[in-house]
Amino acid sequence: MVPIASWTSAVDEPFAGATREVVEHASDLVGAEGIADFPLPRDARLTTLRTRLLDLINSSETAAARRTEACAVLAALHRLQHEDLETALAQQLSSLSEIRDSISALAGLSPRQLIDTVPAQVCRDLALGRAMISTISGSVWLPQHLHIEERTAESATFEQFVDGARIPLSDAPLETELLVRRRTVALVPDPVSDKRTYKQIVDVAQTRAYVAAPITVRGRTIGMLHADRPEDPNSLSDDGLELLAAFAECLSTVFESACLADHMAKQFKRAADTYAEVVAMFDDSGAPAAWCSPQPSAAARRPVRQLHSAPTGAASLTFREREVLGHLATGATNMQIARNLTVSEATVKSHLKQISKKLGTSNRAAAVAAYARMTQEPCGIAQ
């Protein structure tokens, strides 16, 4: 991929050729000699000339010939600025296309791989000198990976400082307010004098200007991107900040996808491990190993009640009616039966009526006796 040549658009390039001639002509007319070489962005210089030309044209003291000349130069300046805007727009669209391609190359990487890859990718694609990716854990800023394009004698000191660093967000108000809380990007033109910056990292990095963008997942900042251009700090611009913002926004989506894939992989592994443990419990015959077989309770070891040769109508008893009859045989009251079966007393009474009808009994004792014959077990009920 061809990297973005510079964050400075055409409006920041020095004047040359025909453009310089128009600017110098305008400067001569308004008495602003040398403005073509002023240390200002190109667009700012053109705007200054336009303003002065308008003042000259509107002045009652301006001679007709000079006013006509000023109008012609003003029209030329308008044309120049229009061309600059078109060039800047084309560069922005090209840059966004490159960012899209760059993000596509990151898809499929794990969270750890993204952390290791993104800083270098940012430097290459956005023509930056240094880039650092960090994560946010609670109220702590955790630098994860720093990439430096052109190393200097101070590079090792910077790397050692961020390696394993834990920076309280309370010590970095700018990052806390803009990146974490507002989830917006930041262009910091003078971090040394800006009271909101974390001075320790500013000093050790010797940065004179930097840009930063949040990495967000589901509306929450989980990380940050910081970048600068040590060799040319003044070249960082709002246009470049927008490109970093676009990169970080796309990266947030990739990061969320990577985190989800990582979580799913861990879940699958946990399920596979559990399955392997279950399989290990069985011997070669497929039966559970003796040491893991559930032991029957005392109640389960009792002889199973065999229902047989029941009185007339016994076979037609429903499962619930048999349950009611079983509780009745223990001497339980209607209220106790209802509580045990989580039904109302009226429901229990209804079941008892059906039981009496099917068994041909007229009272509770007769029903219990019939139950005893069905199970061939004595029933301990008070007479």
* In the chain, where the domains are located: 14-103, 109-260, 315-376
**Res 46: pLDDT:** 78
Say yes or no to pLDDT of 113 above 90.
yes
CATH class as words, domain 109-260: alpha beta
**Res 193: pLDDT:** 95
How far apart CA 252 and CA 222 sit, in angstroms, is: 9
Give the chain's length: 383
**Res 85: pLDDT:** 67
Question: pLDDT digits over 56-82, tens only?
Answer: 898 889 899 989 998 988 888 888 777
Q: Which residue has the tokens 């990718």?
A: 121
How far apart CA 383 and CA 378 sit, in angstroms, is: 13
User: pLDDT higher for 150 or 2?
Assistant: 150
Do 211 and 240 contact (CB within 8 A), yes or no? Answer: yes
How far apart CA 210 and CA 278 sit, in angstroms, is: 56
Structure tokens at 326: 């079983």
Say yes or no to pLDDT of 302 above 70.
no
What order do you get walking across the sheet with 220-228 strand by strand? 167-168, 140-148, 130-137, 220-228, 210-217, 186-188
Q: Which residue has the tokens 């900042």?
A: 221
**Res 339: pLDDT:** 85
**Res 47: pLDDT:** 81
Q: Is the pTM of this model over 0.75?
A: no
Structure tokens at 366: 């007769």
> Could you please report the per-residue DSSP string of 58-74?
H-TTS-HHHHHHHHHHH
Question: pLDDT digits over 356-375, tens only?
Answer: 888 888 888 888 888 777 76
Q: Does CATH place domain 315-376 in 1.10.10.10? A: yes
User: Mapping DSSP to helix (H, G, I), strand (E, B) and coil, where does residue 49 land?
Assistant: helix
**Res 305: pLDDT:** 46
Of 51-60, 78-87, 167-176, 319-328, the range with the highest mean pLDDT is 167-176
> What residues are paired with 210 via a beta bridge?
188
Burial classification of residue 5, based on how many CB atoms lie within 10 Å of its CB (0-12 exposed, 13-18 middle, 19 or more buried):
exposed
User: pLDDT higher for 229 or 14?
Assistant: 229
Do 315-376 and 109-260 fall under one CATH topology? no
Of 126-135, 261-270, 324-333, the range with the highest mean pLDDT is 126-135
User: pLDDT higher for 119 or 298?
Assistant: 119
Q: Which residue has the tokens 């077990």?
A: 377
